[in-house]
Structure 1
Amino acid sequence: MSVDVRTEIVIDAPHEEVAAYAADPSKAPSWYANIKSVEWETPPPLTVGSKIAFVAEFLGRRLAYTYEVTEYTPNDRLVMSTTQGPFPMETTYTWTALEGDQTRMTLRNRGVPSGFTKLAAPLLATKMRKANTADLRTLKTLLESQH
């Protein structure tokens, strides 16, 4: 069973500002509650082929994984994927400029769990949706407070 979770939020901040902040892996711990650390394995700036190591905690487990950027169009779309661990995943961010300096940010996580996580796929999807919604709200609060 695959997991495909899509969440979105409208942020009252300019499109380029939202995209630049969210696409900077170094800033991920400031708005992702589960991400504990980030380390660049390739030198910045972010580009296709960049590799970034993350350490996260999810459902009481420590997860260490490396994302590789597979697609990046600044201010539009970022796609990262990992093939490591029991839950290989692809994460996609998209940003859409709206009227009045607002931005719609969409966050999508999808993958096919294996091993023990395969049995928990429905629970994983529910927990991921809840976590992603909270993380996007944190990002919104963070970016809107700068205006």
Structure 2
Amino acid sequence: MVDVRTEISIERPIDVVAHYAADPDHAPLWYDNINSVGWVTEKPLQIGSKMAFIAYFLGRKLEYVYEVTEYVPGKKLVMRTANGPFPMETTYTWYTEKEGVTKMTLRNKGVPAGFSKIVTPFMSFRMKKANKKDLLKIKQILENERP
């Protein structure tokens, strides 16, 4: 099983961080491995929403659909793969660390199948490294570019 949890403090209010991070249209801007996101269901984001992602990880193109299974605006977003090569659940949580500073947590967990099962330890390491890089990127966007 892969279970990778990464967090970062972002010097922006929780409503700004959560709103930006929970918008799937922003994912290609701060996720290094995500190339595109297409809405399968109608906007806005809500429980049951589905989005098709195209990403590259470990040199492989991945196409998958995420379905929102839990959404509490400003607090938590949980998405699970509805289809794709690697069953995965991604969870974002946000809380106010202190006034004007938000702690954002990104957690990916799943159970690799087939060949992926063999490389699970390596995959966990690479995912943690990628997640740290992605969280640093969203921090930079939100703190410096002020969307």
TM-score normalised over the length of structure 1: 0.97
Contact 2:50 2:66 in 1 (8 A): yes
Indicate the residue corresponding to 2:34 in structure 1. Answer: 35
Deviation, structure 1 residue 130: 0.1
Identity among equivalent positions (%) equals: 58
Indicate the residue corresponding to 1:130 in structure 2. Answer: 129
Indicate the residue corresponding to 2:101 in structure 1. Answer: 102
State the Cα deviation string for residues 67-97 of structure 1 (Å, max 9, x = none).
0000000000000001433310000000001
Q: Residue 83 of structure 2: SS of its match in structure 1?
A: coil
Indicate the residue corresponding to 1:73 in structure 2. Answer: 72
* Partners of 2:50 and 2:99 in 1: CA distance: 35
* Partners of 1:11 and 1:54 in 2: CA distance: 25
Calculate the aligned-residue CA RMSD, in Å: 0.8
1:1-147 correspondence runs (5 A): 2-147=1-146
Deviation, structure 1 residue 144: 0.0
Q: Residue 145 of structure 1: SS of its match in structure 2?
A: helix
Aligned length: 146
Deviation, structure 1 residue 100: 2.6
Contact 1:86 1:115 in 2 (8 A): no
